[in-house]
Structure 1
Amino acid sequence: MTLDHAAIAGQPDGSDLDNRRITVRCPADGQVVGEVEALGADEVAVVCDQLRAAQPAWEALGPRGRSAHLLRWLDWLLDNERRLLTLVQRETGKSWADASLEMSVAVDVINYFTSNAETFLQDRNVKPAGPANAVRRLRVQARPYPLVGLITPWNGPLAGPMMDVVGALVAGAAVVSKPSEVTPLTWREVVRGWREEIGAPPVLAAVTGGGATGQAVVDTVDMVMFTGSVRTGRAIAVRCAQRLIPCSLELGGKDAMIVLADADLERAAKAAVWGAMTNSGQACISVERVYVESPVYDRFVELVTDQVAALRQGTDAPGSYTTDIGAMVTGAQLDIVADHVADAVANGARVLTGGQRAEGNCFQPTVLVDVDHSMRCMREETFGPTLPIMRVADEDEAIALANDSEYGLSSSLWTSDRARADRLSRRIEAGSVSVNNALVATFQLPIPMGGWKSSGMGARFGGAHGVLKYCRQQSVVEEKFSLKSEPLWYPVVPAKSRFMSRAVRFLGAHDWRRKLGLRGRD
């Protein structure tokens, strides 16, 4: 996937994409869900000009004034929850349980950042350094980037953009958002709610389209927040470097789960199934590989296989909660999952349950054993409902294999020994480690979610960082006293200059010989 020719958030599959229109179809049954326009660079530029014009007044509202609009937006989201989640489900093929999680993310993120916005954005008073600066007041104030570009993928049409847009809006930035052309309908409607239903200032817009639309966003904004593939993330990083603007990238993952012999196996097995299968495995933080110490390997595999075999798959009726996982969003992703399983089997792996395509663009929840790092399912991001499990001799082998990856987004570590968990967590090469749980570190808003290695650059959330990343730091130096002149100002007076030189030496040196100029003046 390249910045110039492919969709920044994923090429549509089963959709009709021409120069102007994109038809969105439900992956579960192929029915048309809706249609959006593919905007060109000139149209994106017009939208961005309008956002820039509205941004200064938005910034002037202050964090409390901006938060009030975000809380009204939250009210509107909750008032329209059933309709919005039905739209999520129709354009993604998710189960209702997976779709409903997206609203939970929106609620948590809006409440957290609006509750803390004033604290996060308050000016920071700084103590001056050195006697000569004692007559000055120093402070650092946060000023938003005027226009932030937000580009998101197809796996979370509501939750994905919401994780980032709130921090940018609270910071005082205007935001142009580009949802995936595969699943643009929910976010377009959510942005319409902001612009037309709650009376919020026109500082948020959604532009729809493919790769050209995304490229226009990157070429126009002052800062980019991108979630998506490693390949596209690299292309965006290069373009941002050329434009000398910052970017934050949350890219792919191949998250490892390490289960040690002293772990609570029943809990670990349940977490492995949920961590690997939620959203049909279509999450960057999915559990994609498991390393289990040999003494408990067989029991762990048995527990996992029984639970995976019992999962109910399909797109259930809105509000029914009658299936566990739904469809794959795109046919292209379904092909990748099938290829990974076929490659593993061809190289000696065994399928204990699942392993086949299913009706409605689904892939059966799958457990693979006898796997190793020669197989694609252990090296490449699968992004599907598979769970390969590998036997290891000890913790050292588990850590070595977990780190044997170009990715480093998230991970989990399972042991009943707290000291051991602390020690081993410091050896894992990933941006987060969940101890005796799966995925949870990702959604702890006070701490950062960031990828190491090819999994990204920068981080989302992280308390104040989740807002300040959208800001420029501005230093302000204020004089306590208004003097007619400064000692260093012209004209140069020899006696004054010699006195200042002696004063610098006396105040800055650390021994009396140097303070008095008895050494080091030549």
Structure 2
Amino acid sequence: MNVANTEVAYEVSTNPATLEEIGRLPLTTEAEFERIFEAARKAQKAWAQVSYKERASYILKMADYIRDHADELADIISQDNGKLKIDALNTEIIPSIMSCTWYAKNAPKVLKDELLPPPSLLFFNKWSKRIYQPIGTLGIISPWNYPFSIPFGELVMGLMAGNAVVLKVAAQTPMVGAAIERVVKSSGLPDGLFAHIVGSGSKVLEGMLSNGANKIFFTGSTYAGKQVMKSCAEYLVPCSLELGGNDAMVVLDDAPIERAVNGGMWAAYQNAGQSCGGVKRVYVHEKVYDEFVAMAIAKTRALRHGVNGYDTDLGSVTTEKQFQTLEKELQTALDNGATIAAQSTPVGEQKGYFFPATLLTDVTADMEFIKEEIFGPLMPIVKVSSEEEAIELANQSQYGLSASVWTRNNARGERVARRLEAGAVTVNDHLYSHGICNTEWGGPKESGISRTHGALGLKEVAESKIINWDLLPGLSKNNAWWFPFDEGIYNNMLKLTAYAKPKSVFQWLMLNTFVVPKVVARMLSSWKVKD
């Protein structure tokens, strides 16, 4: 929420679990935007010349700070977002430390120069090298559901690749942005390489683009992602979009039921269900449906939602708007014919936006509510008659972020996973793969464009360049396809069209015996021409 007095406008943070104000930050002005990007460009030029080893030394100091202040940071995330401290620790703090150590170690390997030999004997003298260089200044616009780990991982990748980074966290979680500032500052990173901007999303995006951001990383809703892409197109600036998900959980007839129930509930309910890669639809084989549902009912009722503490399992929803949206979506599900089979139990004072974990049965695949991304702790279960039906229904979505398969047979799990239209598929688990820093994250369809994390994520924050040269630079003064042209050159080149894919071994031999020597001879003959 933005507020202003006669002189300064602020972004105010309110704890959604208690509705108490926890802090406020001044909004970034247009003049500050210009200074931030000017400083970023200047600092980045020097940073691009710094070795990977030296860059890694700063990143590892950030890891030290996060480790040594883990409890404090988890508390800030919890208060700003509404999630439990245990959720903040498990899904934001620990993955961020691991991302520092992995990228510090592996960026030099992933972004190392690659020697490319000639693709054909026709180019026997032409060798190439692929190198990776920094893009420049990266603009990161991050969401409120994982306000620390999502932007921090991209920040680390960007810095390790030699870029400057300008970050805007969600308006609902500004104090997390301030905490990330402190983490970066603790490393002694050179001035100008990182900045935290405070303001509304559309204005910040325009400010980033108009001031020369070289690439935008956005995580959020599909609708907002499309608006970001339109804005970037006007400036011809590339963007990486990690958007919505409507993840399917496929429970096969040989699934380990208790593990499936436990894992499915965690992925559907943790973070108050506000995970783009959480379980949103559960397809259970009819042979194990009754067992699965009975166990899920008992375990959902045993869950507790409330303010932070060691006797709660779910925290609050992050915003009042999202809470109201969930109430409407639940009512839509009930109007469609779904039934509330079980809900979590409230504990302690319930002043904030607490939405109970809700298990839904009597759900069919044609119900409208199950076709959209529900960003909250709802777990709808659909009965299916076969593996084939489960795969077909799982793929009937405009999203493709992630999915899971539950079976006692890993080979079967992989076979089904290959057929699911998703960027990441886990067997006998769900959601956690976002925290594995060496595997990319993202998906097809309306779940976004490009990937973050891992080797592919590092290559998204770098610019590839090809350097090509002659292996024997003194071999010729003239290539075969250079001027002057004549009929003989044309006929020889026409014959060479079959060289890449000759019709027979005999044709290949004839080309190498008669045509290729003529082409080489023409190149060598250039030495006989007087300057």
- Using the size of structure 2 for normalisation, the TM-score is 0.87
Q: Which string of whole-angstrom CA distances, capped at 9 and with x for unpartnered residues, describes residues 311-335 of structure 1?
A: 1212225xxx332110111011111
Tell me the distance in 2 between the aligned counterparts of 1:489 and 1:428.
Answer: 50
Tell me the distance in 1 between the aligned counterparts of 2:143 and 2:180.
Answer: 16
| Contact in 2 for aligned 1:431/1:450 (Cα 8 Å) | yes
Residue 466 of structure 1 aligns with which residue? 457
Q: Which string of whole-angstrom CA distances, capped at 9 and with x for unpartnered residues, describes residues 240-265 of structure 1?
A: 22322221111011111011111111
Residue 139 of structure 1 aligns with which residue? 129
Deviation at 1:280? Answer: 0.9
Secondary structure at the counterpart of residue 108 of structure 1: helix
1:396 paired with 2:385, answer no
Does 357-366 or 328-337 show the bigger shift?
357-366
Tell me the distance in 2 between the aligned counterparts of 1:440 and 1:323.
Answer: 21
Aligned residue pair count: 498
Q: Alignment partner for residue 221 of structure 1, among 191, 209, 213?
A: 213
Residue 75 of structure 1 aligns with which residue? 64
Correspondence list, 1:162-177, <5 A: 162-177=152-167
Q: Which string of whole-angstrom CA distances, capped at 9 and with x for unpartnered residues, describes residues 186-210 of structure 1?
A: 2222223323x33111311110111
Does 414-423 or 267-276 show the bigger shift?
414-423
Secondary structure at the counterpart of residue 434 of structure 1: strand
Q: Which string of whole-angstrom CA distances, capped at 9 and with x for unpartnered residues, describes residues 260-288 of structure 1?
A: 11111111010111111111111111101
List alignment gaps of at least 5 residues for structure 1: 1-11, 518-522
Deviation at 1:493? Answer: 5.8
Residue 24 of structure 1 aligns with which residue? 13
Residue 244 of structure 1 aligns with which residue? 236
Tell me the distance in 1 between the aligned counterparts of 2:423 and 2:481.
Answer: 53
Q: Alignment partner for residue 421 of structure 1, among 406, 413, 434?
A: 413
| Contact in 1 for aligned 2:95/2:437 (Cα 8 Å) | no
Correspondence list, 1:189-200, <5 A: 189-195=179-185, 197-200=186-189
Residue 101 of structure 2 aligns with which residue? 111
Q: Which string of whole-angstrom CA distances, capped at 9 and with x for unpartnered residues, describes residues 129-186 of structure 1?
A: 3446433442111011101111100011211212211111111111111100110112
Does 337-346 or 506-515 show the bigger shift?
506-515
Tell me the distance in 2 between the aligned counterparts of 1:84 and 1:441.
Answer: 22
Residue 520 of structure 1 aligns with which residue? none
Residue 7 of structure 1 aligns with which residue? none
1:98 paired with 2:95, answer no
Q: Alignment partner for residue 262 of structure 1, among 249, 254, 265?
A: 254
Q: Alignment partner for residue 321 of structure 2, among 332, 335, 346?
A: 332
List alignment gaps of at least 5 residues for structure 2: 516-531
Secondary structure at the counterpart of residue 426 of structure 1: helix
1:230 paired with 2:222, answer yes
Deviation at 1:491? Answer: 9.8
1:371 paired with 2:346, answer no
Q: Which string of whole-angstrom CA distances, capped at 9 and with x for unpartnered residues, describes residues 337-367 of structure 1?
A: 1111111112221112228995421001111
Secondary structure at the counterpart of residue 424 of structure 2: coil
Deviation at 1:32? Answer: 1.0
Tell me the distance in 2 between the aligned counterparts of 1:494 and 1:354.
Answer: 81
Tell me the distance in 2 between the aligned counterparts of 1:506 and 1:369.
Answer: 67
Secondary structure at the counterpart of residue 153 of structure 1: coil
Residue 9 of structure 1 aligns with which residue? none
Deviation at 1:513? Answer: 6.2
Does 63-72 or 398-407 show the bigger shift?
398-407
Cα gap change, 1:444/1:81 in structure 2, threshold over 3 Å: closer, same or farther? closer
Q: Which amino acid aligns with 1:471?
A: A
1:121 paired with 2:111, answer yes
Tell me the distance in 2 between the aligned counterparts of 1:169 and 1:140.
Answer: 20
Cα gap change, 1:479/1:339 in structure 2, threshold over 3 Å: closer, same or farther? same
Correspondence list, 1:269-348, <5 A: 269-317=261-309, 321-348=310-337
Q: Which amino acid aligns with 1:456?
A: G
Q: Which amino acid aligns with 1:56?
A: K
- CA RMSD across the alignment: 2.6
Cα gap change, 1:474/1:364 in structure 2, threshold over 3 Å: closer, same or farther? same
Q: Which string of whole-angstrom CA distances, capped at 9 and with x for unpartnered residues, describes residues 360-379 of structure 1?
A: 21001111111234545412
Tell me the distance in 2 between the aligned counterparts of 1:426 and 1:491.
Answer: 48
Tell me the distance in 1 between the aligned counterparts of 2:490 and 2:53.
Answer: 47
Cα gap change, 1:499/1:254 in structure 2, threshold over 3 Å: closer, same or farther? closer
Cα gap change, 1:513/1:379 in structure 2, threshold over 3 Å: closer, same or farther? same
